Amino acid sequence: MSQRSCLSVILAAGEGTRMKSALPKVLHQIAGLPMVAHVVRAAEAAGASSQALVIGYGADEMRKAAAKFAPKAETFVQEKRLGTAHAVLAAREAISRGYDDVLVMFGDTPLIDADALMAARFRLAEGAAVVVIGFRPPNPTGYGRLIEKGGKLTAIREEKDCSAEERKIGFCNAGMMAVAGAHALKLLDAVGNKNAKGEYYLTDIVEIARAQGLDVVATEASFESALGINNRIDLAQAEAVWQQRRRHAAMLSGVTLIAPETVYFSYDTEIGADTIVESNVWFGPGVKIANGAKIHAFSHIEGATIGSNCDVGPFARLRPGADLRTKAKVGNFCEVKQAVIEEGAKVNHLTYIGDARVGARANIGAGTITCNYDGYSKFFTDIGEGAFIGSNSSLVAPITIGNGGYIASGSVITESVPDEALAFGRARQKTIPGKGKELRERLASAAAAKKKAAGADN
């Protein structure tokens, strides 16, 4: 199989009006990735070395998106929507290069898996000219039925054309196909449009191939893998399926999910064994977690790297560029952005660390903030190894706190602090004996007078 060349033609020209969106349907996301990108990834995993995206509505937006998730893919525009076979032929230039296998896929089936595509390619390698991928939905009503005889596919029958006996068939057409490259263009060019809609249907190549004496067979994918997206409800269902698969895989790989149904993964989340994830944790794109970390409840993490045996949360937010080294801790109600928290350092609670380095074994007290932005530019804060930053401190960047530096609580630090130095940056306290009692009595009297005046007005 590895020696057979393969092209995937992915149909992504649909407008998707039922999505009620200005965004092309196939760019709506599953697990933080456009659904069509999931299809591209499945095709690549099944051995498709070349990709042809057939686009239409929102072509410019599609090209821009494709440059990110499929930079090597070619795009072809279907100028008029005249049916699925017509859409495939928009990629004629790519198909004509003579691939062994041509996979025809749909950009709105994001759950298709590589195994289903590989099974179809295997049948091509055995000599089939056309392989139709089928599935068995819980309720086949509305789907075209796959009619088989003697192990061969004889027809794809639309439900309205089925006999009463054929309607009992549960094996349905998923729409996706694998076609032998040697026959692909000849079969597609033979498709006509003599039907009620005047369109060119891809399914017609089954009968055309059989009339030419070519083998046509069907393979089976799971119902979930063939699930198509037509509206926001379908999108949510696909997201739920994807998340369930990913959670299952994570737990089998040695990750503990305390409440699996509440954890959200992105398409590229990497998470090491012996990591414990508590409830209601959200992993956005670009998260890498080493072994043995603990992620507490209600944490929101994206674009972050978390080293082994780190402790995060609860209610922590790690933004892009957060880099926690071994045994670092970021506690509750803390936010870290574009900053390195080195080995054993602690950012305990109610703290913002942005555009910074926190040295190994440093301790950041509650309510500390790095003042990294002056309204126009970002500036860096460098906190040395073993430094102690007292609670409620503001570090005004650019600034360096030396190794072992000690910042007194409540300080506003605007100048760099040398190694092992102690820095204060706050007003001197003034205490007036008896003044507290006098102030309370005066405030109580004013409040009573105000209450009495309000009663008189009523």
**Which CATH number characterizes residue 365's domain?**
2.160.10.10
pLDDT at 184 exceeding the cut of 60:
yes
Q: How confident is the model at residue 437 (pLDDT cuts 50, 70, 90)?
A: very high
**Is the same domain home to 142 and 197?**
yes
**Is the same domain home to 181 and 266?**
no
CB 412 within 8 A of CB 396: yes
pLDDT at 1 exceeding the cut of 80:
no
Final residue in a domain of this structure, among 198, 220, 242: 220
Q: How confident is the model at residue 151 (pLDDT cuts 50, 70, 90)?
A: confident
pLDDT at 126 exceeding the cut of 80:
yes
In the chain, the percentage of residues whose pLDDT exceeds 70 is 99
CB 346 within 8 A of CB 363: yes
Report helix, strand and coil shares of the chain as percent, to nearest 5: 25, 30, 45
**Is the same domain home to 168 and 292?**
no
Final residue in a domain of this structure, among 195, 220, 245: 220
**Is the same domain home to 70 and 166?**
yes
**Is the same domain home to 262 and 212?**
no
**Is the same domain home to 213 and 261?**
no
As a whole number, mean pLDDT of residues 259-282 equals: 98
Q: Is 210 part of any domain?
A: yes
Q: Is 168 part of any domain?
A: yes
Cα gap 322→442, rounded to integer Å: 50
As a whole number, mean pLDDT of residues 159-178 equals: 91
Q: Is 196 part of any domain?
A: yes
**Amino acid found at 128:** A
Please state the domain count of the chain.
2
Q: Is 87 part of any domain?
A: yes
The CATH number given to whatever domain includes residue 213 is 3.90.550.10
Has 183 been annotated as catalytic?
A: no
Residue with tokens 């008896």: 434
pLDDT at 79 exceeding the cut of 90:
no
pLDDT at 389 exceeding the cut of 60:
yes
Q: Using DSSP, how many helices (H) and how many strands (E) does the chain show?
A: 9, 35
Question: Any alpha helices (H) in 358-458, and if so which ranges?
Answer: 435-457
Q: Is 447 part of any domain?
A: no
- Global pTM? 0.89
Close Cβ partners of 163 (under 8 Å, ≥ 6 residues apart)? none
191-200, 290-299, 302-311, 392-401: the lowest-pLDDT one? 191-200
CA distance from start to end of the chain: 91
**Is the same domain home to 54 and 110?**
yes
Choosing from 38, 86, 296, 349, the catalytic residue is 349
| Side-chain half-sphere exposure of 342, counting CA atoms within 13 A | 15
Residue 283: per-residue pLDDT: 98
Q: Domain containing 282: what range?
A: 254-423
Cα gap 404→392, rounded to integer Å: 19
As a whole number, mean pLDDT of residues 224-233 equals: 94
**Is the same domain home to 272 and 137?**
no
**Is the same domain home to 134 and 258?**
no
Pairing mode, if any, of strands 172-180 and 101-106? Answer: antiparallel
Q: Is 227 part of any domain?
A: no
Residue 383: per-residue pLDDT: 98
Cα gap 455→458, rounded to integer Å: 5
- Residue 15 or 139, more confident: 139
Q: How confident is the model at residue 161 (pLDDT cuts 50, 70, 90)?
A: confident
Residue 453: per-residue pLDDT: 87
Q: Is 92 part of any domain?
A: yes
**Is the same domain home to 38 and 187?**
yes
Q: Is 140 part of any domain?
A: yes
**Is the same domain home to 81 and 14?**
yes
- Under DSSP, is residue 352 helix (H, G, I), strand (E, B) or coil? strand
Q: H-helix or E-strand containing 295?
A: strand 294-295
pLDDT at 2 exceeding the cut of 70:
no
Cα gap 245→267, rounded to integer Å: 11
CB 132 within 8 A of CB 215: no
**Is the same domain home to 196 and 262?**
no
